Amino acid sequence: MADQKIYRASTTAPVNIAVIKYWGKRDPSLNLPTNSSLSVTLSQSDLRTHTTASCSSTFEGPDTLLLNNAPQSLSTARSLACLKSLRALRSKLEDAESSLPKLSTYPLRLVSVNNFPTAAGLASSAAGFAALVRAIADLYELQQSPTELSLIARQGSGSACRSLLGGYVAWDHGTRDDGLDSRARLVAPKSHWSDMKALILVVSAAKKGVSSTTGMQTTVQTSSLFQTRTKEVVPKEMAEMEKAIKSKDFATFAKVTMRESNSFHATCLDTDPPIFYLNDVSRAAIKAVEELNEKAGRTIAAYTFDAGPNAVIYYLEADEDAVLKTFLPILRQKEGWGKMDTKIDGPGPA
């Protein structure tokens, strides 16, 4: 009798927030970056995508994806690349073991839910593609390591490769044309520096004006600052950041994080036409961190901003009172501001 069973696997993938930013592709079709980047994986209970992947010979039509209850296209080149790679790995297993059900030939039904604003510069595509790849890999019972799967997630969205691993994660730009060395690498597990916390100031939950994919390629084509950034600035910052994480040196971690965020936004401004992700509220958050550190006489907080106005403030748990005391009054003054406190974490069930 034909296989009527519905096969299913669910997983969650967390958001990651870069302290060394990915901005620019050397190969847009494979999502190969011009520079390496490094991020901290945030807590899944606060910011994550939950995805269920199912497949069955009884399903009809093409593969489908629902995100927060809305149908999404899976026929984009990036989604197709992920699905093709995962099916190829499953197909290899099926070829080697003929008793396995031929899941690689069944239509897929993917259902994803984000517990945070989608496409507002909170790395939703990172968690989204990481969860999609992990869920299908689990459904297909693939044995590949998270680093190997990061090669697939990278093709969906560059930053997604970092969300396959927990803790402190680098994405090495790699030098190969086929991208096989452009993947995630664990710098340190979350247990190494587990008192790191992130406060997220949700300045705006609106969809961002310029998408990262479009914005970064305009920067590559038009910004002269970008050349110096990728060739000289980022390699030095990567080395200093890895050292700071390994030695748990918060002052250096914070200094490099803030410098990097500013370098990234400077190249956005140097793009033609200029890209503005920060707004007045973002700039108020920068000033508040500068004043907090000055008042404390040491560095207790670091700000960073991605492709949107929302601030992420990194700090150590011991300094939580001082950090919250600074930001809660600001949050109350500004209508519509929200906050999320989160710890660092890793992929897998929350």
Binding stretches for ligand 2P0 (CB under 6 A) = 18, 21-23, 31, 37, 123, 125-126, 157-159, 212-213, 306-307
Beta carbons of 116 and 67 less than 8 angstroms apart: no
Q: How near is the Cβ of 51 to ligand 2P0 at its closest, in Å? A: 17
Ramachandran class of 225: left when φ > 0, alpha when ψ lies in -120 to 50, beta otherwise: alpha
Q: Which is nearer to ligand 2P0, 11 or 41 (CB)?
A: 41
Q: Which residue is nearest to ligand 2P0 (CB)?
A: 158
Q: Which is nearer to ligand 2P0, 139 or 164 (CB)?
A: 164
Q: Which burial class, exposed, middle or buried, applies to 124 when counting CB atoms under 10 A from its CB (0-12, 13-18, 19+)?
A: buried
How many Cβ atoms sit within 10 Å of the Cβ of residue 325? 10
Cis (ω within 30 of 0) for the bond into 146?
no
Which residues on adjacent β-strands are paired with residue 339?
201
Q: Which is nearer to ligand 2P0, 5 or 176 (CB)?
A: 176
Locate tokens 């920060």: which residue? 278
What is the C-alpha separation between 291 and 340, in angstroms, rounded? 21
- Burial string for 251-284 (b: 16+ CB within 10 Å, else e) reads ebbbbbbbbbbebbbebbebbeeebebbeebbee
Q: Which is nearer to ligand 2P0, 151 or 292 (CB)?
A: 151
Q: How near is the Cβ of 310 to ligand 2P0 at its closest, in Å? A: 11
Q: Which is nearer to ligand 2P0, 51 or 212 (CB)?
A: 212
Q: How near is the Cβ of 5 to ligand 2P0 at its closest, in Å? A: 34
Q: Which is nearer to ligand 2P0, 261 or 326 (CB)?
A: 261
Q: What is the dihedral of CA 88, 90, 92, 93, to 10 degrees?
A: 180
Q: How near is the Cβ of 227 to ligand 2P0 at its closest, in Å? A: 18
Q: Which is nearer to ligand 2P0, 115 or 213 (CB)?
A: 213
What is the C-alpha separation between 59 and 210, in angstroms, rounded? 37
Written as six digits, the tokens of 15 are 């958001």
Q: How near is the Cβ of 261 to ligand 2P0 at its closest, in Å? A: 9
Q: How near is the Cβ of 350 to ligand 2P0 at its closest, in Å? A: 21
Q: How near is the Cβ of 18 to ligand 2P0 at its closest, in Å? A: 3
Written as six digits, the tokens of 89 are 């790995």
